[in-house]
A and B are shown apart, each in its own frame.
Chain A
Amino acid sequence: MNKFAFFPGCMIPARYPHMEYAIRKTLPNLGIELEDLPEASCCPDPIYFKSKDKLSWLSIAARNLCLAEDKGLDIVTNCSGCTATLSEARHLLEDEELRTKVNKRLARIDREYKGEVRVRHIVTVVRDVAGYEAVKESVKCKLEGLKVAIHYGCHLLKPSKIMNVDDPNDPKVMEALITALGATPVRHRNWFLCCGKACQDEDIPANMMRDILSTVRDVEADILCLICPTCFSQFDHGQVRVGKRFGEDFNTPPVYYFQLLALAQGIQYENLGFNRQRIKPKILDKIETTLSHA
């Protein structure tokens, strides 16, 4: 077993517990073990709290990194926002002056950041530690015939020098992970576009989402697969708003990758929280029952 310190963040445990459930159920089947960090706080988020004061943001992030250092384990995150904050903090703290500043703050709580652990998005851990073959072997019900559009989101890939995940202009990791489930990835024209959640305006994100959802509809994808809970909320609740605003029915259910993996590994549709979504991926219920067990 490969062991990692699990950093679930805020959105997934406090709003989308089924995503956490799916992760905890599926990773052991890929030979990945998770150890909790009970004292961890919000990463803190790279949009709102970071806007208030970067030095405080960096100090709290450093405290979270220290918790993993105590355990001597690399961190695995399940949210692109947490990945962004913790990876960036790790990068910034390579600067000696900044590290000294932050360590002065950490000294107030008897901690010290040493720079001993790595931060990895769960998707890269599955790719690099388990491997696509292991994903394929863990599948009990192939999702054959399912057409899956992908929303990479921004912070898994960028800034690429810090994230080091994949080519930000032509990423492959999600396509490969979906192919491993027996499903068919389809690329839509706006695959690279941001979900717009961080923008404090109504028109810009609404237009961005309309453009993404229209091209997903054009390629006749059954679902939109993603790996970030913030993007998820944008495409679930947000899609209802955008649909109303433009008088269009996109009917594109967003699905968090690990819930899709859980389904393919044989967990029942009803147990995966899909019915709590605003845009329900009912096709997954149907596809599951018509599956031939591999």
Chain B
Amino acid sequence: MNRMSSENNLDKPKEDEIVRIDFAFRKELAEKVEGNLASFCYQCGACVGDCPATFYSDDFNPREIMLKVLYGLEKELIGEDSVLWLCTNCYNCTERCPQDVKPVEVIISLKNMLADRGIVPKTVSRIIDTFEKTGRTVQLSSAVTKERAKLGLKPLEEIPMDEIHKLLAPAEEDSGK
């Protein structure tokens, strides 16, 4: 801070000392639903203590993820084998954060950015595909169909996929975002 404001620029920071914030990345994230919440993070670390992914892994820390978002360190978050997939979606961080950052929601918004770039783990993309084909995330087996009949439960109905697909189509209305 001091030297940035020093008038004579005697100790101008070296190039590798300057943190350059990637605002394009932050802007893209902010356009996701609740993606802008990291802006309110003041790095207190309250979200960390109750985070099971942090407790069980040395690689994951929601406070650090929020810091990387604030700096716009896209490369550290968006790529193959992203650390984001370690989150268990338990919402403890959201319970604890005094700033209503909802770290897990920021993390999911970052996953949306991964999906936009086509980088999604196979187990995840398989379930997404099943939903987009059938309207359900679980495929119905013939064994369960039989079991339902035996129990006197109604057969599961086809989901009107035309409606689902119309809702999924990327929107002209949304663009210009």
Chain A residues within CB distance 8 Å of chain B: 10-11, 13-15, 17-18, 20-21, 24, 36, 38-42, 44-56, 58-60, 63, 92, 98, 101, 104-106, 108-109, 154-155, 158-160, 168, 193-194, 196-201, 203-205, 207-208, 273
Contact = CB atoms under 8 A, between A and B. Distances in A.
Contacts of B153: 13, 17, 20-21, 24
Given A21-B153, A53-B112, A204-B52, A155 B91 contact: yes
Interface string B139-170: 11100100110011110110110011011110
Categorize the interface residue count of chain B: 35 or more
Given A10-B137, A101-B174, A199-B87, A54 B33 contact: yes
Contacts of B95: 158-160, 168
27 contacts: A11-B138, A14-B136, A15-B144, A41-B136, A42-B131, A47-B89, A51-B112, A51-B120, A52-B112, A52-B120, A54-B32, A54-B109, A54-B112, A56-B167, A60-B168, A63-B164, A92-B34, A159-B94, A159-B95, A159-B102, A193-B52, A194-B89, A196-B88, A199-B53, A199-B89, A201-B86, A208-B52
Given A56-B167, A98-B33, A158-B90, A201 B108 contact: no
B86 A204 contact: yes
B127 interface: yes
Nearest to A20: B153
Given A14-B156, A53-B112, A42 B88 contact: no
Interface in B73-97: 85-92, 94-95
Contact of B136 (A10, A18, A198): A10
Given A51-B112, A200-B123, 9 more contacts: A36-B154, A42-B135, A51-B111, A51-B124, A52-B112, A54-B112, A194-B92, A199-B85, A273-B147
A60 B128 contact: no
A219 B87 CA distance: 29
Contacts of A54: 32-34, 108-109, 112
A109 B163 contact: yes
Contacts of A207: 56
Please report whether the interface of chain A is mostly helix, strand, loop or mixed according to DSSP. helix
Interface string B100-124: 0010000011011011000011011
Contacts of B168: 56, 59-60
A14 B138 contact: yes
